[in-house]
A and B are shown apart, each in its own frame.
Chain A
């Protein structure tokens, strides 16, 4: 059996999830030059928001076709509130401060969010079951399940909507202007604070979409799920060129596919058996990041901007 199509599909799915989360990193960085390390935890709270909707708000036995959109809304609201709250109370007071201060705040916030969920969400100190979409479909040599379709479709829809929003809408253009030069944008009458809040909100919502897809795909969520996913998504954002939304998505896909292919095939290369397999996937992913950054320091789609980074 040729496993390549299936492995590519696996990589594409993983990559779409990284890409959705990476959007949050890249938009915030593009506008305020802040690496929001709490973004992984915003993703996590989105998952718990959706879980709350399913278990504590909807009546038992709600069909998934009804439940999933409501879970998206619930998770989205929680993630947006936390993202915007973080901006308002943790980052805005530090806007003029040296770079290191908001970075440390972000790390502190990420720990705080993890511990709050662990301590106060019922049963969250270990993995909590999440409703799955497990019906499978065979497409030639590829087997995928409903959750995978949900992930791909929502990634495409979200990206298309974001691209349209940024290019065509008034707010989107204001966003581009703020990213280019916040001071001048403000002088031109753009409310930059509002733009920054919108960037955080969009990032939060995309993270919530990824979180719902994550829950539906893997069937459980836990309070530490944001750490590794956040780190990978950040890598994806850097790989694609931080600050560029298309770069984030491309970086996610490249990272996901590279990771999957590395763990699938490297151990088949003669002499490389020790360096292959699932446990080396992260090593190869980060090797790829280093190589790309050596050749193109601005990332795959990044612009060469001297005063940033």
Chain B
């Protein structure tokens, strides 16, 4: 009896799975016929970011930032005869998921480019996929230097992928900006440095560590945590015992908000200083009062203070989009706009029509993005020979009365 129900169950499951697969392939075909048959061409821009789970607050800011850029372009008919469509992919901050999303985006025959991802570690697995498909990828937030300048970026800069660009500046600048502010601005002479061993966090902590010592500060201890850890009792006791004036954390808010809370619960009232990975309202929501006085560097200047971003923020709020536009929304908007402008440049050079061969279009868009030069909402958008933004502004934020307040804006050296 049990055997028979097992057989029935298996066949139901198999049928279900087959049906789902069939749905998937039908969708793809639908996209194809749209492209060749319609009078207006629909071009897709993929956006990949963590839309659920860890980092999703900032991830959703990226998704909707790009969404507004696409809506604006369509409303203004920026490229005549072309309607842009945004397709969002959730990478859950997992490198493997990012890679399969990249494969899905490049497999979409209407896709011209992609915005994202949020995490540097995810970007590492996606770069090759986009390079093979010759499709442009612009990240609004990746800050790991090796993504654009190669593994040996400190000694020998070499661009690994010519399809990869970013509107964010690098950790090299962010780490040294933080070290400068910690030592010269806050006058904190000893620091404890912790990271989460991820590409982003470990890189950031390493640069901070080096630069802070160069300025004359003393690093009294280092440690590493695992992402997903919840109990930092042992680490907190070590920090307390080290007598550090400041805790520098390289990583995301998921862990740093818990660390700062447990640190202050243990009676250690030193500020936690981090990178843009913890610059999100969620950090304050989860850490509560413990977040007060903590600092974070973020790339660019605050979205709220950008005169050109006013309209963007109003739209974002009016549409009631979830997530946090503060950190990368404006950079995501500019990243999507760079792709759209590139399509326009390609169309203009081709007598007002976009090339019908998608591969031809994609490779021309890559070249056009490289030549980008326009005023975005985050400032001037253009890329250097490595694909890095030429807009190297950074801001230090501090938590004051439960909100991130900009305390110092500057250009990194």
Residue positions of A touching B, CB distance < 8 A: 1, 3, 6-7, 10-11, 13-14, 97, 118, 125-127, 129, 132, 134, 136, 138, 143, 145, 214, 218-220, 224-225, 228-229, 259-261, 263-264, 267, 277-279, 281-282
Residues of A within 8 Å of B2, CB to CB, are: 97
Q: Are A129 and B288 in contact (CB under 8 A)?
A: yes
Residues of A within 8 Å of B237, CB to CB, are: 3, 6-7, 10, 264
Shortest CB distance A155–B (Å): 15
Which residue of chain A has the shortest Cβ distance to B51 in the bound complex? Answer: A125
Residues of B within 8 Å of A278, CB to CB, are: 194, 223-226, 229, 232, 234-235
Q: Are B53 and A219 in contact (CB under 8 A)?
A: no
Q: Identify which of residues 277-303 in chain B touch chain A, using a CB-to-CB cut-off of 8 Å.
A: 282, 285-288
Q: Are B282 and A127 in contact (CB under 8 A)?
A: yes
CA distance A104 to B329 in the complex (A): 42
Q: Are B282 and A7 in contact (CB under 8 A)?
A: no
Residues of B within 8 Å of A145, CB to CB, are: 265
Shortest CB distance B135–A (Å): 29
Number of B positions contacting A (CB below 8 A): 38
Provide a sorted-by-A list of 22 A–B residue pairs whose CB atoms are within 8 angstroms: A3-B237, A6-B237, A11-B233, A125-B52, A126-B53, A126-B282, A136-B265, A136-B266, A136-B267, A143-B266, A214-B230, A218-B258, A219-B286, A219-B288, A220-B258, A220-B286, A228-B228, A228-B230, A263-B234, A278-B229, A278-B234, A282-B226
Does B261 have its Cβ within 8 Å of any Cβ on chain A?
yes
Q: Are A13 and B228 in contact (CB under 8 A)?
A: no
**What are the 3 closest A-B residue pairs judged by CB atoms, nearest first?**
A10-B233, A279-B224, A277-B223
Shortest CB distance B122–A (Å): 17
Q: Write out, one digit per residue, whether chain B residues 254-265 have a CB within 8 A of any chain A CB (1) or not (0).
A: 100110011001
Residues of B within 8 Å of A143, CB to CB, are: 266-267
One of A13, A125, A126, A132 near B288 (C-beta < 8 A): A132
CA distance A172 to B235 in the complex (A): 41
Shortest CB distance A97–B (Å): 7
Q: Identify which of residues 189-233 in chain B touch chain A, using a CB-to-CB cut-off of 8 Å.
A: 194, 197, 222-226, 228-233
Does B25 have its Cβ within 8 Å of any Cβ on chain A?
no
One of A11, A129, A214, A263 near B235 (C-beta < 8 A): A263
Q: Are B53 and A125 in contact (CB under 8 A)?
A: yes
Shortest CB distance A223–B (Å): 8
Residues of B within 8 Å of A220, CB to CB, are: 257-258, 286
Shortest CB distance A143–B (Å): 5
Does B238 have its Cβ within 8 Å of any Cβ on chain A?
yes
CA distance A264 to B241 in the complex (A): 11
Residues of A within 8 Å of B241, CB to CB, are: 1, 3
One of B222, B232, B267, B285 near A129 (C-beta < 8 A): B285
Does B337 have its Cβ within 8 Å of any Cβ on chain A?
no
Which residue of chain B has the shortest Cβ distance to A283 in the bound complex? Answer: B226
Does B137 have its Cβ within 8 Å of any Cβ on chain A?
no
Q: Are B231 and A127 in contact (CB under 8 A)?
A: no
CA distance A281 to B224 in the complex (A): 10
Q: Are A129 and B286 in contact (CB under 8 A)?
A: yes
Q: Given A3-B238, A7-B234, answer yes or no on A126-B54 (Cβ-Cβ < 8 Å).
A: yes
Q: Identify which of residues 306-337 in chain B touch chain A, using a CB-to-CB cut-off of 8 Å.
A: none
CA distance A82 to B400 in the complex (A): 42
Shortest CB distance A153–B (Å): 18
CA distance A125 to B235 in the complex (A): 27
Which residue of chain B has the shortest Cβ distance to A225 in the bound complex? Answer: B230
One of B52, B54, B225, B230 near A218 (C-beta < 8 A): B230
Shortest CB distance A115–B (Å): 10
Most chain-A CB neighbours within 10 Å: which of B56, B194, B230, B231? B231
One of B197, B234, B286 near A127 (C-beta < 8 A): B286
CA distance A176 to B52 in the complex (A): 45
Q: Are A118 and B232 in contact (CB under 8 A)?
A: no
Shortest CB distance A200–B (Å): 23
Q: Are A260 and B233 in contact (CB under 8 A)?
A: yes
Which residue of chain A has the shortest Cβ distance to B289 in the bound complex? Answer: A134
Does B370 have its Cβ within 8 Å of any Cβ on chain A?
no
Shortest CB distance A229–B (Å): 8
Does B110 have its Cβ within 8 Å of any Cβ on chain A?
no
Q: Given A127-B286, A219-B288, answer yes or no on A281-B266 (Cβ-Cβ < 8 Å).
A: no
Residues of B within 8 Å of A282, CB to CB, are: 226
Q: Are A13 and B233 in contact (CB under 8 A)?
A: yes
One of A13, A127, A261, A277 near B224 (C-beta < 8 A): A277
Shortest CB distance B204–A (Å): 16
Shortest CB distance B320–A (Å): 15
Most chain-B CB neighbours within 10 Å: which of A1, A118, A127, A264? A127
Q: Are A281 and B234 in contact (CB under 8 A)?
A: yes
CA distance A6 to B241 in the complex (A): 10
Residues of A within 8 Å of B197, CB to CB, are: 279
CA distance A225 to B233 in the complex (A): 17
Shortest CB distance B283–A (Å): 10
Does B57 have its Cβ within 8 Å of any Cβ on chain A?
yes
CA distance A215 to B71 in the complex (A): 42
CA distance A219 to B282 in the complex (A): 13
Residues of B within 8 Å of A6, CB to CB, are: 237, 240
One of A7, A118, A138, A279 near B225 (C-beta < 8 A): A279
Residues of A within 8 Å of B52, CB to CB, are: 118, 125
Shortest CB distance A150–B (Å): 13
One of B222, B235, B261, B266 near A219 (C-beta < 8 A): B261
Q: Write out, one digit per residue, whether chain B residues 163-196 have a CB within 8 A of any chain A CB (1) or not (0).
A: 0000000000000000000000000000000100
